[in-house]
Amino acid sequence: MSRRLGISLACCVVALTALGISLHWLPVGARQVWRQSENTLQFSELYAGGGARGLVLSAKLTSLHSKRVVMAGYMAPPLKPALDFFVLTRVPLALCPFCASDAQWPEDIVFVRMPPGQTVKPTAAPVQVVGRLDIGTKTDAATGFVSLIRIEAEQVAVVR
Amino acid sequence: MLHPADILHSRCPWRFLVLTLAVLCWPLMGVAEPGAMLSDGLMGGALTRLAQAQPTATRPAESGTTAPAQPSLRILPIHQAKFLAGARFDFRIEADHLAVKPTVWEVTVAGQPLTAFFGTQGQITHTTGTSQEQTLRDVTLTEPGTYTVSAKVVAGETTLTKTVTYEVVAAKPTARQARNVILFIGDGMSLPIRTAARIVSHGLTEGKYNAMLEMDEMDAYAAVTTSGMESIATDSANSASAYATGHKSVVNAMGVYPDNTKNPNDAPRVETIVELVKRTRHMAVGLVTTAEIQDATPAAMFAHTRRRAEYLAIMDQYLHPPQMADVIMGGGSASLLPQSTPGSRRKDNRDLFKEFEAKGYTTVTTRTELAAAGAPDKLLGLFQLGTMNVYLDKAVFKKGAVLKQFTDQPMLWEMTEKALGVLEKNPNGFFLMAEGGLIDKQAHPLDWRRTVWDTIEMDKAVGVAKKWATAHGNNTLIIVVADHAHSMSITGTYWEGDGKKGREAVRVYGEAQFPDYRDADGDGFPDQVDVSRPLAIHWANHPDYYENYTVFDEPIAPTVKEGERWVANAQRAGADVLQPGNLPASESNAVHTVEDVPLTASGPGAEQFHRTIDNTEVFFAMANALGLDARQGKSPFVAER
């Protein structure tokens, strides 16, 4: 009995060691992507200047077109409990431009579309989006939302 | 994939190890799937899975007007509507929720059949399938008096009747006629906000103010009611529309009465002050705001829409000659840029900057360009894609993350001065509306400092206008008024000098003493925003939020959304004094309040303001001061949309 217990304990030690490796491996894979600084995009890096007659897209933004990027921000106030798209903003908004007649979108926003068949829960916490960057004016067929900068999301995660 | 039960029931001697590994790794097996990532990342915290498989739902459509289910009859304009004789309007009668088509449709005005009275039968429509409407566009009542409109509709078993009365008045010329009118609207600038601006700007010595505000030092004072036709509580579209047309309407509407159609831009119109002064007197018009030029207050001066968010339709009306202002300044260039231009909010590739330039407008986009613009015949100044930044952000804190590309924005008093220089060239006089639009936009998120400093900014613009009027013949009526109230109130002062903090540091009655703002440079603003004894400000209505009595060097939203509820935003620095909300948790910000608002005025016609008046009377007072005869000139409604 004690031998069997010892074997079990040994197995657990081995298992936990192996698990430690596996837990490490998976995030490392992600970190390798996210640590590539050219693939991280900040809100302050979207535009290189311009003014009331139009903004100038930054070289960094345009260079990342069609590439996989990581971007952090906040979800604009949503209308629904489950979203297949949302708008990423630099700071939290306390007005809902979707639903308020006196609220308009700031210029530095990113339209995020979830992968087909997936939705995301709204959150007030900061979120991190990983996905393919798409630049250029486009009208979303499903929502009618006109956007300039989009991310076709692979992953969306909340930062606690 | 093996299930843990399969492993447990196997004969493998390593089954316990395999099982342990399998169980512990089980949650990770889905990690590699798109949308299910769990890891820490750039922001340094632990990440939680958000993505989940749920059916995709579409965004709900904006809700329209809720109509009663019972058969009903509506006459627009409404009962008790008051008209300037000759002012143009659309007449509409609607019968809703009918079981069958009407067999009797009788409408009379002053005892005459509707068609005979107005000389047109208009258009009969059936908007909803269970309704019938008759709309007469572009009609007028030219003779002063009381008019009774009666309607009888019979549809099957249902008989509906309704009678309304209208009052038609000619302008009563005031003792001295005004050549020009300058209407300052402090959006949401209720009485305590004016008082706070006076305290912060000028201070007191042993109870007496060291100086009064420019808006205090005026000849006449009145209180103005603000309610709309459907509710005691109003918004800036409806309330500004009352000033601009003399008619009540509903929240979100300007220059129209609400009808039963879904199209917000076909509602029955009433003529605006801008249309009136242009068609009857060929006066110049200026619209200046710190908000977006499409925002409710400037738009209500000339535009007709049931829904204030119709920015592109409002821009089309800006370009419609009978509604066109000679000077337009503020934020909101995003609605002028072709959609291919980064920053645009348009849904087409029209370049409205170019369209304005083709119509003779000089365009400027920075404070520097504005100063260099001289006095062109027409001026379009747009200084932000969206709303302009508030005084504290554009002139004091100047944070790059807040101002972004817009580091060279003019002050409201500079825009006002430039507008006057352009408008004064018209020999027929002018109407100028100048709005402190961000007083309200900072009161909503409970940011009293940004609210009050922007009130001082507008007060300096009032000073510019008063000085200009004095130097130009004292024939300009200047009105300073709010459009609705906010619930901000001054409790006393806040002082941590004895170690108390939070609510215990709120000083009341004699302990409040006086705030220690100083204005050594005499620019009207305190030299320091963050003083040791600021005002203690409280709000009568609010969501959950943190009141920490400190200065934020950038705007911070009071709430964030969690599920269906708006909860206090912990980003308000030192967030330790939670103010439990007293509004429904569906409200993210403070809301407008219903109290009367103060109005002060100087110049010819100011004597009309001396008691509590309905907000629609501000329109008639302006018409009286100018001696407007609305029977002159061609209709501005001829180009139907």
Q: For chain A, which residues make up each domain, given as ranges?
A: 1-35, 37-158
Nearest residue on chain B to A137, judged by CA atoms?
Answer: B340
pLDDT-derived band at A99 (thresholds 50, 70, 90) equals low
Residue B555: both structure tokens together: 């705007």
The answer to whether A107 contacts chain B (CB < 8 Å) is yes
The answer to whether B407 contacts chain A (CB < 8 Å) is no
Per-residue pLDDT of B466-506, as tens digits, reads: 999 999 999 999 999 999 999 999 999 999 999 999 999 99
B318 closest CA partner among B350, B355, B368, B290? B355
| pTM of structure | 0.87
The answer to whether A44 contacts chain B (CB < 8 Å) is yes
Q: What value does the mean pLDDT take over residues B9-20?
A: 40
Question: Which among B53, B365, B401 is the nearest to A51, CB-wise?
Answer: B365
Residue A140: what pLDDT?
A: 82
Which candidate in B190, B236, B241, B335 is catalytic? Answer: B236
Residue A104: what pLDDT?
A: 77
Question: Which among A34, A98, A114 is the nearest to B51, CB-wise?
Answer: A114
- Under 8 Å CB pairs connecting chains A and B tally to 233
DSSP-assigned letter for residue B233 = S
Mutate to test the interface with A, among B56, B370, B542 (most CBs of A within 10 A): B56
Per-residue pLDDT of B284-327, as tens digits, reads: 999 999 999 999 999 999 999 999 999 999 999 999 999 999 99
**Distance of residue B242 Cα from the nearest chain A Cα, in angstroms:** 18
Residue B2: what pLDDT?
A: 36
Question: Which among A34, A77, A124 is the nearest to B41, CB-wise?
Answer: A34
pLDDT above 70 (res B199): yes
The answer to whether A97 contacts chain B (CB < 8 Å) is no
Mutate to test the interface with B, among A37, A101, A113, A123 (most CBs of B within 10 A): A101
H/E element, B194: helix B191-202
Q: What value does the mean pLDDT take over residues A41-57?
A: 95
Separation in Å, CA A84 to CA A112, A124, B91, B148, B506: 9, 17, 45, 55, 47
Question: Which among B34, B48, B62 is the nearest to A157, CB-wise?
Answer: B48
Q: What residues of chain B, 2 to 41, have a C-beta less than 8 Å from chain A? A: 14, 16-17, 20-21, 24-25, 28, 31-32, 34-41
Q: What residues of chain B, 240 to 299, have a C-beta less than 8 Å from chain A? A: 252, 292, 295-296
Residues in contact with B432: Cβ distance below 8 Å, sequence separation at least 6, in sequence order: B180, B181, B182, B183, B285, B286, B287, B288, B327, B416, B419, B420, B423, B465
User: Is B236 among the catalytic positions?
Assistant: yes
Residue A105: what pLDDT?
A: 84
The answer to whether B347 contacts chain A (CB < 8 Å) is yes
Chain B contact set for A157 (CB, 8 A): 37-39, 41, 47-50
Residue B237: both structure tokens together: 């579209």
Would you say A71 and A39 are in contact if contact means Cβ atoms under 8 Å apart? no
Q: Are B340 and A137 within 8 A, CB to CB?
A: yes
B434 closest CA partner among B408, B453, B460? B460
Per-residue pLDDT of B322-376, as tens digits, reads: 999 999 999 999 999 998 899 998 989 999 999 999 999 999 999 999 999 999 9
Q: What is the pairing mode between strands B327-331 and B362-364?
A: unpaired
pLDDT-derived band at B98 (thresholds 50, 70, 90) equals very high
Residue B636: what pLDDT?
A: 84
Question: Which among B31, B309, B571 is the nearest to A101, CB-wise?
Answer: B309
Mutate to test the interface with B, among A24, A35, A104, A135 (most CBs of B within 10 A): A104
Please check whether the domain covering A37-158 is classified as CATH 2.102.10.10. Answer: no
| B20-54: b (≥16 Cβ within 10 Å) or e | bbbebbeeeeebeeebbbbbbbbbeeebebbbeeb
Measured distance CA(B521)–CA(B298) in Å, rounded = 33
Q: What value does the mean pLDDT take over residues A12-41?
A: 44
B312 CB burial (10 A radius; 0-12, 13-18, 19+): middle
List, in order of start, the domains of chain B with CATH numbers.
Answer: 72-169 (2.60.40.10), 180-257+267-487+591-626 (3.40.720.10)
pLDDT above 70 (res B176): yes
Nearest residue on chain B to A84, judged by CA atoms?
Answer: B56
ipTM above 0.85, yes or no: no
Separation in Å, CA B141 to CA A80, B70, B304, B625: 49, 32, 20, 21
Residue B507: HSE in the Cβ half-sphere, 13 Å Cα cutoff = 18
Q: Are B43 and A84 within 8 A, CB to CB?
A: no
B137 closest CA partner among B240, B259, B268? B268
The answer to whether A142 contacts chain B (CB < 8 Å) is yes
Measured distance CA(B392)–CA(B404) in Å, rounded = 15
pLDDT above 60 (res B4): no
pLDDT-derived band at A139 (thresholds 50, 70, 90) equals confident
Q: What residues of chain B, 296 to 325, have a C-beta less than 8 Å from chain A? A: 296, 307-309, 311
Residue A103: both structure tokens together: 């609220």
H/E element, B105: strand B104-109
pLDDT-derived band at A137 (thresholds 50, 70, 90) equals confident
Mean pLDDT, rounded, of chain B? 90
Q: Are B386 and A158 within 8 A, CB to CB?
A: no
pLDDT above 50 (res B11): no
Question: Which among A102, A124, A130 is the nearest to B37, CB-wise?
Answer: A130
Q: Are A40 and B339 within 8 A, CB to CB?
A: no
pLDDT-derived band at A159 (thresholds 50, 70, 90) equals confident
Residue B639: what pLDDT?
A: 57
H/E element, B138: strand B132-140
Per-residue pLDDT of B201-239, as tens digits, reads: 999 999 999 999 999 999 999 999 999 999 999 999 999
Residue A102: what pLDDT?
A: 64
Q: Are B557 and A153 within 8 A, CB to CB?
A: no
Nearest residue on chain A to B564, judged by CA atoms?
Answer: A81
pLDDT-derived band at A144 (thresholds 50, 70, 90) equals confident
The answer to whether A54 contacts chain B (CB < 8 Å) is yes
Q: Which residue has tokens 């639903």?
A: A99
End-to-end CA distance of chain A: 45
Q: What is the pairing mode between strands B327-331 and A68-75?
A: unpaired
Q: Are A159 and B41 within 8 A, CB to CB?
A: yes
Per-residue pLDDT of B500-554, as tens digits, reads: 999 999 999 999 999 999 999 999 999 999 999 999 999 999 999 999 899 999 9
Q: Are A115 and B384 within 8 A, CB to CB?
A: no
Q: What is the pairing mode between strands B204-205 and B180-186?
A: unpaired
pLDDT above 90 (res A138): no
CB atoms within 10 A of CB B541: 16
